[in-house]
Amino acid sequence: MVSDLELNQGNTSSTIKKMEQMDLIEKVRAKDDERKVELALRPKGYELLDRIEKKAKKMQNRVFLDEKRNNKLIESIKEISNYLDYIIRMEEEK
Per-residue tens of pLDDT for the chain, all 94 residues: 355 556 677 777 888 888 899 999 998 888 888 888 888 899 999 999 999 988 888 887 776 667 787 788 888 888 888 888 888 888 777 6
- CA 12 – CA 88 distance, rounded (Å): 8
Give the pLDDT confidence score for residue 1 in this predicted structure: 37
Coil, strand or helix at 73: helix
Give the pLDDT confidence score for residue 4 in this predicted structure: 54
83 residue type, one letter: Y
Asked if residues 20 and 26 have their Cβ atoms less than 8 Å apart, the reply is yes
Give the pLDDT confidence score for residue 3 in this predicted structure: 58
pTM: 0.53
Give the pLDDT confidence score for residue 58 in this predicted structure: 82
